[in-house]
Structure 1
């Protein structure tokens, strides 16, 4: 072998490259250090104890390591590229520009050993272990330096952990003492459990929270003393809870509510508490001082949970504040409780409410693109009235328009234009014969909408769409939300169908369903559950279930049977009769502070019967595109193994089905600053319930898993705080429309081939995460 060839092999050997990276990043990271200082690279904690089990010892070591400060410079595969970028950028001459951005936003400054206080960290470890019941713990600290780098090593010698032998609650006969004693059933302090100072603190907070529900407004956790005796027993402690002697008298009293006063026109910058006698309205238990006669009194009756004579409790306190905020008419809500001058052991409650502007106009401009190569924009102008009938109702009148243009691809100028208007009225209550307001902090709402939209797909057809709905929205709590539309009516009528599209219908009858007149009416319901707002949880979930019932009662009463030719029409239009369900389940696995694994499964099914032989096109399922299987263009995949290759049209017709199954998994990690990266795999397809001769292979069968499409890719997300801009580059791994045995196309992947890239690489640009 020639010397040159040998050098070439070494140059492209992965181990050689990795070694070179270590050398480049390593040497350059230490040569910029201040004279006499060292680069701090991290610390370790070793727990030395023969009594503690190995598993518990390792868990304790992990907890202790998390307390050490400062944190070392972040590593990626043993390298510190952010520190290398910091050094590469150098000292910027001014506090702006590319060099400043590169050094401060992308790079990361070195953590110097001179900033590490070994003794302080040792004391933190000692205090932590003793607070966990390992009394008289010993801790030593040392360091090891090599090649201008230094690590810290801490060794902890804990004694045997103390356990709780007994717990006693206050035994005095006062109202406060009895109230505390009644909370003992749910105490966090359990006999036999390890002593833990944090648990004692949490127990005091728990007792205080319970007392706040019983009227003890002025009580706080500091008035509870936990006396710990470790002298009696074998590594055991006796805990006695008592009320401190210096506790003020008012903290020992359970208060009731007396006066409730509301100021709905409170202005921070002015003295808005001045009023005339005619401005005072007495309504039930409330005194309303509304100088501008802004609201009907019943608005406050629905929002305020306190009634005169009720014991104060924190739950009703918070519910009331949240209800005022959720009304959507106030920019500022303040509550104040004062000891009543008229009655002993009572509180007067005052609410100061600052109004948002009653009327306002909002203009929204949206730019968008999708995987079918359409680029477009939408503009909407919304006029709002926040208090239309003096009951905090919201009236919204919207005018909107938009256009989608295909810059490249198969649709050859078949651009889409739309124009429309929508009016909605929302009441902050249930408008129904039943008087139910619920007990949630979220205000239940009733919403009525009326919408018209004109959509023109140039050179093909235009559609007029009318929609009206009336329904309810309510939340049980922050995690559970319901939406029920009692009335949901949609009417679609075609307009200006071109000869070209009519010719395409002659070749593919399914295209005719797009321009059929449609009348859809019936109730719809959706339920959403999510706990993704709980950032500390390792596993979080999101679920949305939808149920759509169209024309069911009407179809049953009329005896409609489209299969036998007994089709019932309303205003000369056959109404749709079907049942459609859809479930969307997402799981988020937190891997670290800056990374997670997100997964989703979607299952949907629609069944037409009675007056219909197929689902309306607008109600069918589709796959592909920016928020679905990203390796395939929007609405072009499926159904089943079908591929549209026979029609002579110059555009891509939408493909839809009665059944849908989709899986997505995405690894997300922060790269630097506002930039996040993702690796993803998508899979799924749609199917027809019944065979269609114009779409061979489109129907569902027992071998439906053979029709699954699979794609993969990578993307970047730019988190701009007010929105997330997403770019995804995807390519197919499995094409269900290819012959059996040839559907996996992993072996065909060739990023260096221009024709392969043109056919297979799909760029998706969108706003927000895909799920």
Structure 2
């Protein structure tokens, strides 16, 4: 037997031995049970109904099974590892230590059959089915014992489901009844649909929300009674919605807004609502109680949507509260409405606002590593002022520095250092020549930024980078977000270029673009849509689109669009002219309570024209690394099938970048135990040049670009520490576009027993957070 096969054989023997030991020990869980008790391993529900469609019957069985209590010990591959850990740890002698941690944090106590109430579960199932319109359902319960393990079996025999025959809304002369009746087209109760108590409750909530938009502040859903008549018709019900007779008069009255009081320095510990006359400032419809004059009064005018005389409505109520929270200057926001003492059927509105500290310092220390074998750290020091000009503006001044070291590999000694600073000012409004008012619960913002960064690559070159931008950020709602920079200027200047790097340029002309002076200016736009915060949805998506336009208007003015041979310069620097588009689409499919399938598709394209022959290096696309195609080291993949010539004298790996990008990733994620989650993933993609480069054969896009896709796969562990997620992914290449056509699939070359193969192909990625 070869050495290779011996390694593989030993590996499998160890795996099978470990699995068998785990299985045997797992089977012994029942020997630790209390005397006379049994281990409860779960329940099943069978619905017996010949009229119900199989699909509907299975769905009902799933819903009913979720109602059973208690839940059995969690299983993985038919085993109960948390219960095994609990039994293995034994009874700890003190409330700390390894044994206590294993038993109470990693382990899980056995779920005993003595804790299972069959009759109670049967009544829960009966109530649920009847609330779904299966009146007079019968439920029976039984149990089966095998090897000290018990399963509970419930059989539900429902009668024919009742459907809604008619829905009648209040028809008296009261104004509130007319409002309810007018909204009948939006009713959740539909004739012909099954009777469902949950839908009736939701309909009462809908009516209440409708009334809240019409001034009925004191109304609530409990004042609506749904009278259900099931005595007439064949398995049909008539539903009549009425307002209860004992509903208070104030709940039947609509209210307007009278006075509006604001307390910007409200304290949760002291009764700051008590004020003296000298503390009062009157501004438009607002009475402001603030001796310190913390904010300019117009801040409240832009934030509070109620005005004196407005009819109360919940939309403006919630909108105002959300905008106060989104200002970012208050730690606590409280709102009260009280009857006016001067006007009948009117409310006084009170806003109690507790300030966050105006000035604060935040320090961030970051440790990082990537698949190119760089390991480093970064320090960020931020000073913030939350109310810079008394208009809730946020001023931030930052200094940062970092270093990335490569302790091995071809880039050994080519360390990267960076140092810089940034100042930014954010206004909680649109600053434009036009009067634009946002009507979202999220405060629109205007942001100006000035940034400088010095980056040095040891023994190669250094870059000075300056950037300034001015733009707008706004949210339509919780799902849609926009960012528009009307001014975005970047200037890059090289420094300390070494003779060694200049010599390398003679062999690879593309390296020259890295150290060329760059002047990039133009608008950028970014749009994001996501519904991933809706945890109950089975399918959720994330979409981000970016548009980057550089030098377009300047090209028209200077004539750069039509001058083919002359490069036009500004301050003796050629300005860049291009159009760049990038889209990032992600889909999340929930497979279970603790598992999902996550997928991502990235498509990007950049087109240089006029005053530029190529995209600036900083704007080109790259692939590979911890958040990309993880089986290839960062920035080393592509373009296309291009391979760095082996005759080059470079003793480092230059970054590879291009004009076009296509990338696809998918991974299965599941919780294993405690804070540990596992993943199995597949990545594919590449980058290409838009035009052929004689110095990079095979790098340009062609009709056979699909044959140049790189493919990698792997497994990963993610440790959810609540405040961050530590990710470790181990990947191997399955397809390498740098190899000759016909030899690019390398699955048959996988050899875990070969140390040289492992060194070249096992790529470990360590990162913070999920890759997408």
Question: What TM-score bracket applies, with the shorter chain setting the length?
Answer: over 0.9
Please state how far the C-alpha of 1:571 moved relative to its aligned partner: 0.2
Quote the Cα distance in structure 2 between the aligned partners of 1:694 and 1:19. Answer: 54
- Give the corresponding residue for 1:682: 683
Quote the Cα distance in structure 2 between the aligned partners of 1:548 and 1:427. Answer: 24
Matched, 1:219 2:219: yes
Seen in structure 2, the aligned counterparts of structure 1 residues 23 and 632 have a Cα distance that, compared at 3 Å, is closer
Q: How far does the alpha carbon of each residue in 1:375-425 deviate from its partner, in whole angstroms, 9 at most, with x for none?
A: 111111111111111111111111111111112111121111111111100
Q: Tell me if the contact between 1:366 and 1:379 (Cα under 8 Å) persists in the aligned partners.
A: yes
Q: Tell me if the contact between 1:275 and 1:291 (Cα under 8 Å) persists in the aligned partners.
A: no
- Give the corresponding residue for 2:537: 537
Q: How far does the alpha carbon of each residue in 1:588-631 deviate from its partner, in whole angstroms, 9 at most, with x for none?
A: 01111111110000000000000000000000000001110111
Q: Tell me if the contact between 1:30 and 1:39 (Cα under 8 Å) persists in the aligned partners.
A: yes
- Per the alignment, in what secondary structure is the counterpart of residue 102 of structure 1? helix
Please state how far the C-alpha of 1:341 moved relative to its aligned partner: 0.6
Seen in structure 2, the aligned counterparts of structure 1 residues 559 and 529 have a Cα distance that, compared at 3 Å, is same
Structure 1 portions without partners, runs of 5+: 1-8
- Give the corresponding residue for 2:202: 202
Please state how far the C-alpha of 1:95 moved relative to its aligned partner: 2.2
Quote the Cα distance in structure 2 between the aligned partners of 1:204 and 1:677. Answer: 43
Q: Tell me if the contact between 1:562 and 1:612 (Cα under 8 Å) persists in the aligned partners.
A: no
Seen in structure 2, the aligned counterparts of structure 1 residues 291 and 14 have a Cα distance that, compared at 3 Å, is closer
Q: Tell me if the contact between 1:430 and 1:444 (Cα under 8 Å) persists in the aligned partners.
A: yes
Q: Tell me if the contact between 2:444 and 2:473 (Cα under 8 Å) persists in the aligned partners.
A: yes
- Give the corresponding residue for 1:6: none
- Give the corresponding residue for 1:427: 427
- Give the corresponding residue for 2:370: 370
- Per the alignment, in what secondary structure is the counterpart of residue 31 of structure 1? helix
- Give the corresponding residue for 1:306: 306
- Give the corresponding residue for 2:658: 657
Seen in structure 2, the aligned counterparts of structure 1 residues 53 and 85 have a Cα distance that, compared at 3 Å, is same
Q: Tell me if the contact between 1:169 and 1:181 (Cα under 8 Å) persists in the aligned partners.
A: yes
Range that drifts further, 547-556 or 284-293: 284-293
Q: How far does the alpha carbon of each residue in 1:706-757 deviate from its partner, in whole angstroms, 9 at most, with x for none?
A: 1100111111111111111111111110110001111100011111110001
- Per the alignment, in what secondary structure is the counterpart of residue 141 of structure 2? strand
With normalisation by structure 1, the TM-score equals 0.97
- Give the corresponding residue for 2:189: 189
Seen in structure 2, the aligned counterparts of structure 1 residues 18 and 54 have a Cα distance that, compared at 3 Å, is farther
Matched, 1:396 2:396: yes
- Per the alignment, in what secondary structure is the counterpart of residue 32 of structure 2? coil
Please state how far the C-alpha of 1:328 moved relative to its aligned partner: 0.7
Quote the Cα distance in structure 1 between the aligned partners of 2:23 and 2:430. Answer: 69
- Give the corresponding residue for 1:54: 54
Structure 2 portions without partners, runs of 5+: 1-8
Please state how far the C-alpha of 1:247 moved relative to its aligned partner: 0.6
Q: How far does the alpha carbon of each residue in 1:193-229 deviate from its partner, in whole angstroms, 9 at most, with x for none?
A: 1111111111111100111111000000000111111
- Give the corresponding residue for 1:124: 124
Q: How far does the alpha carbon of each residue in 1:496-544 deviate from its partner, in whole angstroms, 9 at most, with x for none?
A: 1111001001111110100000000000000000000000011000000
Quote the Cα distance in structure 1 between the aligned partners of 2:421 and 2:730. Answer: 36
Quote the Cα distance in structure 2 between the aligned partners of 1:409 and 1:648. Answer: 15
Q: Tell me if the contact between 1:561 and 1:567 (Cα under 8 Å) persists in the aligned partners.
A: no
Please state how far the C-alpha of 1:20 moved relative to its aligned partner: 4.7
Please state how far the C-alpha of 1:250 moved relative to its aligned partner: 0.5
- Per the alignment, in what secondary structure is the counterpart of residue 405 of structure 2? strand
Quote the Cα distance in structure 2 between the aligned partners of 1:730 and 1:737. Answer: 18
Q: How far does the alpha carbon of each residue in 1:319-360 deviate from its partner, in whole angstroms, 9 at most, with x for none?
A: 000000000111111000000010000000000111111111
Please state how far the C-alpha of 1:434 moved relative to its aligned partner: 1.3
Quote the Cα distance in structure 2 between the aligned partners of 1:164 and 1:364. Answer: 60
Matched, 1:673 2:664: no
- Give the corresponding residue for 1:342: 342
Q: How far does the alpha carbon of each residue in 1:415-439 deviate from its partner, in whole angstroms, 9 at most, with x for none?
A: 1111111110000000001111221
- Give the corresponding residue for 2:6: none
Q: Tell me if the contact between 2:564 and 2:610 (Cα under 8 Å) persists in the aligned partners.
A: no
Quote the Cα distance in structure 1 between the aligned partners of 2:190 and 2:635. Answer: 59
- Give the corresponding residue for 2:37: 37
Quote the Cα distance in structure 1 between the aligned partners of 2:569 and 2:13. Answer: 74
Q: Tell me if the contact between 1:509 and 1:694 (Cα under 8 Å) persists in the aligned partners.
A: yes
Where in structure 2 are the equivalents of 1:7-406 lying within 5 Å?
20=20, 24-25=24-25, 27-406=27-406
Q: Tell me if the contact between 1:660 and 1:686 (Cα under 8 Å) persists in the aligned partners.
A: yes
Where in structure 2 are the equivalents of 1:437-586 lying within 5 Å?
437-560=437-560, 564-586=564-586
Please state how far the C-alpha of 1:278 moved relative to its aligned partner: 3.5
Matched, 1:705 2:709: no
- Per the alignment, in what secondary structure is the counterpart of residue 87 of structure 1? helix
Q: How many residues end up aligned between the 2 structures?
A: 762
- Give the corresponding residue for 1:752: 753
Range that drifts further, 154-163 or 482-491: 154-163
- Give the corresponding residue for 1:4: none
Quote the Cα distance in structure 2 between the aligned partners of 1:300 and 1:35. Answer: 68
Quote the Cα distance in structure 1 between the aligned partners of 2:415 and 2:16. Answer: 54
Please state how far the C-alpha of 1:25 moved relative to its aligned partner: 4.1
Range that drifts further, 560-569 or 228-237: 560-569
